[in-house]
Structure 1
Amino acid sequence: MNKHICIIVLLLASVYTDAQELQSYIEEAWMNNPKIQAFELRYNQAREKASEAGALPNTEFGMGYFISEPETRTGAQKARFSAKQMLPWFGTVSTREKYSLAIAEKDYLDVIIARRKLALSVAQGYYELYSLNAQKAVIDENIKLIQTYEQLALKSLEVGKASAVDVLRLQIRQNELQQQKGVLEEQVRAEQASFNGWLNRNTEDMVTVVQEMTIPEADPVSTDSLQINPELTQFDRLYESVIQAELLNQKERAPMLGFGLDYVPVQERPEVNIIDNGKDILMPMVSLSIPIFNNRFESRTRQNELRKQEIEFLKQERLNLLEAAFAKSLALRNQARISYNTQTINLKQARDAEQLLLKSYE
C-alpha cells in the first residue's frame, strides 16, 4: 500500500514547500550539465556562421612578367599586376545571413528541448528520492510498531494469552522489514548517484528532499499547450529555414558583379622624345558572372518544395504522438488520483484496525 501511495505522489504531487529547492537543483543542472553546455556551444557555432555568411568572396590578386616584352609606341611592357573583387547581387549577402540565422534558431530550440528534458529527469529523480525516503520512513514506523507488538506479545506469553509462535512471527516480520530497509537504502544511493550525474556533481554528494508533499485538489490541463511545444515549434523553424533557403537560391541565380584594376609598368624608350614616353598603363575593369546553365537552381527549388511538404508531415506525425502521450499521461494521472483517494480511505481503516489489534494484546 505504501508503495502505491509513493507512486501516486510521484505522479500527482504538486510541491509547494520544496518548489525553491527543486528549482535550484534544476537551475544547477542547466548550468553544469555537459550535454546542455554542448548544445549551447552548437548554437553559438550556428550564430557564428551567420557572420561567416556575410563575408564576400576572396579578393583576387595576380602578377605576370612578360618574357617576351610587347612593344608599344610609348615603350615595352614589362609586367602586369591585377586585383579583382567579385560582389554578389544586391541583397544576396543579407539573404544568406537570414538563412544562417534561421538554422541557428532551430539549434536554439534544441537547447530548449534539452533543458526541458533535463528538468524532467531532475524532477523525476527528486520525486523518486522522496518516494524512497517516504518508504523508508514507513518501514521505520512499522519496525517500531512490530517491536511494540513483540513486547506486548511477550507479556501476553507470560500470562498465557499468546504463544511463542506469535512472538516468532513478529520477529520474522521485523527481519523482513530490516531487509526491505537495506534494499531501499541501496536504491537511494543509486538514485542519488544518477541525480548527481545530471547536476555534474560527485556521485557521493548528499541530495536533500522535503519531508512532506501535498497533492492539489484540482490541476486542470489543456491540450492547447501542445501547440507551443518546442518539439513542434522546431518544425516551424525548419520550415522557415527552407523558405530562407529558397530565397537565397533565387538570389544566387542573379549575376555577380566584378570590379578590378590592372597595372602595367612600361619601360621608357631611349633616345625617343614622344609624349607619354614610358607612361605606365592603369586599366579599371568591370566583369559580370552570369549563371547561364541554371538547372541546379531549378533543382534546388524542387527540393525545397519537397522539403517543406516533408516537414509538414513530420510535424503532424509528431503532434499525433504528443497528443497520444498527453492523453495516456492524463489517464494515468486520473487513475492515480482515484487510487490515491481509495488508499487514503484504506489507510484510515488500517489505523482503526491497528488500534483494535493493540487492544487485543492488552
Structure 2
Amino acid sequence: MKSKDILIIKLNRRSGMLAVIVSLFFFLTGTAQQLQPYLTQALENNPKIQAFELRYETARERIEEVGVLPETQFSVGYFASEPETRTGPQQYKLSVQQMIPWFGTITARENYASSLADAQYVEIATAQRQLLLNVAENYYRLYAIRAKQRVLEQNIDLLEAYEELALTSLEVNQASSVDVLRLQMRQNQLRERLENFDEEFKAEQAAFNTLLNAERGATVKVYDSLAVPQEDPVQLPEVPQVHPELLRFDKLYESVGEAEKMNRKEALPDLGFGLDYVAVGEATAMQAPDSGKDILMPMVSITVPIFGNKYKSVTRQNELKQRELNAQRENRHNELVSRLEAAVSNRAEARISYRTQLLNIEQANDAEEILRRNYETGTIDFNDVLDVQELQLNFELNLIEAVKNYYQASANINYLSE
C-alpha cells in the first residue's frame, strides 16, 4: 500500500490505519517484532498525535458551521403614539427577515472548509510518520548502548582473566607488579565507561517513554543483537510526489483555490426575504370599509456589493498565495531529496564500516589467540595484551555503532521514500 492510499483512510478507521502504517514501516526497515508494540503504542498514545487529530475534528466541525444560512432577524415595534389611518390606528408591528447568500455561496464555503480539513488530515499523517522515525531512532540508540555495555562487561571479564594470569606469572617472575596494576587500571576505566553508559541509557529510556506517553522509568526491551543484512535494495529510493510533507502543500494549494471560488460567490448580491405585520385597531373617528384590518406586507431585498475592490484584492492575494505555496513545495521537495541522498550515503558508509569492523575483529581475535599460545610457552607480554584488548574493544564498539547507524539511516530512507 502506498502513502497516498494510507492518507485517504478516514479517522473512523483509526485502528486499521495505525496497523497499516506500522506494517509498512517494519517492511521497509526490516525490524523484528520487538519494536512493533512500541510503534503502535506511540501512535495510539502520543499527545502530539492526539492534538493533531482533535485539530482535524475541529476543522471538520467547521464545515457544519459555514453550511447554514445567516441568522433570521425578528423585530417587534410598539407605537407609543398610535398613528391614525383611514382604517384605524396602528398599534404594533412585527417583522421577520431572512437573508440568503447567492446560489452556490454556501456550497463554496463548505468546500473551502472541507479543503482546510483535508490539509489538517495530511498533517496527521506527517506527524505520525515523524513520530515513527523518532521512536525508531531512539530505539536503536537504546540498542547500541545496551550492546556496548555487554561488550564492556565481556572485556572486563577478559581483563580479569588476564589479571589472574599476570598474578600467576608474577609468582614465577614472568611478569611485574606494573603489569598487574596496568590491567587493574584498565578495568577501572572500563567500569567507569560502563556506569556512564548506564546513565546514558536511563536518559534515552526516559526520552523514549515520553514519545510513547508512558512512565519515564518504564522498562524498554531491546534486541539482544542486530546485524546488517547481506544486501540493500538494488533500486535507488526516490522522494514520491505523494509524500505527506509535499501533499500538505498540494492540499493548501487546493484550499486557496476553494477560497477563490468562495470569494467570487461572496462578490455576488445577497437576497433577502421578509414579512411585516402591522396590527391595526378599529377606526373611531369614522366608519370605513376594512376598519381594523391588519396590514401584512411581504418584502424582498437585495444587497449589492457596489464597491468590488475588496474582492479583487482577495483574488490577487489568492494568486500570490498559490505561487508562494508552489515555491515552498519545490523548496521542500529539494530538501527532502537532499535528506534522502544523505541517508542513502549514511547507510552505505555504515555497511562499509560494518564489514571493516568484522574483518578487524577477526584479525584481533587471531592476535589474541597468538598471545594465549605464547602464555603456554611462558613468553606472554602484557603490554601486547592491553594493546590487543583495546583494539578489540574499539572494533566491537565501532561495529555496534555501524549497526545503529545502518538502521537509523534505513528508518530515515523509509520516512523519505514511502
Length-normalised TM-score, structure 1: 0.92
Whether 2:83 is the aligned partner of 1:94: answer no
Give the 5 Å matches for 1:176-191.
Answer: 176-191=189-204
Whole-angstrom CA distance in 2 between matches of 1:43 and 1:34: 14
2:153 partner SS: helix
Alignment CA distance shift 1:327-1:243 (3 Å): same
The match for 1:276 among 290, 295, 303 is: 290
The match for 2:394 is none
2:34 partner SS: helix
Whether 2:308 is the aligned partner of 1:294: answer yes
One-letter amino acid of the counterpart of residue 87, structure 1: I
2:213 partner SS: coil
Whole-angstrom CA distance in 2 between matches of 1:77 and 1:301: 50
User: Relative to structure 2, which stretch is displaced further, 20-29 or 52-61?
Assistant: 20-29
Whole-angstrom CA distance in 1 between matches of 2:207 and 2:242: 30
Alignment CA distance shift 1:98-1:15 (3 Å): closer
Contact 2:239 2:337 in 1 (8 A): no
The match for 1:308 among 322, 333, 342 is: 322
Whole-angstrom CA distance in 2 between matches of 1:252 and 1:150: 88
The match for 2:341 is 327
Alignment CA distance shift 1:45-1:16 (3 Å): closer
Alignment CA distance shift 1:72-1:316 (3 Å): same
Whole-angstrom CA distance in 1 between matches of 2:361 and 2:226: 17
The match for 1:263 is 277
**TM-fit CA distance, 1:164:** 2.1
The match for 1:355 is 369
Whether 2:257 is the aligned partner of 1:243: answer yes
Whole-angstrom CA distance in 2 between matches of 1:223 and 1:73: 89
The match for 2:136 is 123
Alignment CA distance shift 1:55-1:299 (3 Å): same
Whole-angstrom CA distance in 1 between matches of 2:258 and 2:344: 39
Which structure is higher in RCO with an 8 Å CA cutoff and minimum separation 6?
A: 1
Query: What runs of 5+ residues in structure 1 fail to find an aligned partner?
Result: 1-12
Q: Deviations over 1:214-272 (max 9, x none)?
A: 32222326443332221111000110001000000111111111111110000012485
2:62 partner SS: helix
Contact 2:228 2:354 in 1 (8 A): no
1:228 partner SS: coil
The match for 1:138 is 151
Contact 1:14 1:215 in 2 (8 A): no
Aligned residues: percent identity? 49
**TM-fit CA distance, 1:72:** 2.3
* Corresponding residue pairs, total: 350
User: Relative to structure 2, which stretch is displaced further, 245-254 or 113-122?
Assistant: 113-122
Whole-angstrom CA distance in 2 between matches of 1:342 and 1:18: 23
Contact 2:72 2:98 in 1 (8 A): yes
Whole-angstrom CA distance in 2 between matches of 1:286 and 1:327: 66
Whole-angstrom CA distance in 2 between matches of 1:81 and 1:223: 72
The match for 1:233 is 247
The match for 1:346 among 351, 360, 371 is: 360
One-letter amino acid of the counterpart of residue 258, structure 1: G
The match for 1:109 is 122
Whole-angstrom CA distance in 2 between matches of 1:35 and 1:97: 27
Whole-angstrom CA distance in 1 between matches of 2:256 and 2:134: 33
**TM-fit CA distance, 1:196:** 1.0
The match for 2:44 among 27, 31, 40 is: 31
Contact 1:15 1:213 in 2 (8 A): no
Whole-angstrom CA distance in 1 between matches of 2:295 and 2:202: 84
Whole-angstrom CA distance in 1 between matches of 2:237 and 2:101: 47
**TM-fit CA distance, 1:273:** 4.8
Contact 2:246 2:329 in 1 (8 A): yes
Whether 2:63 is the aligned partner of 1:63: answer no
User: Relative to structure 2, which stretch is displaced further, 23-32 or 94-103?
Assistant: 23-32
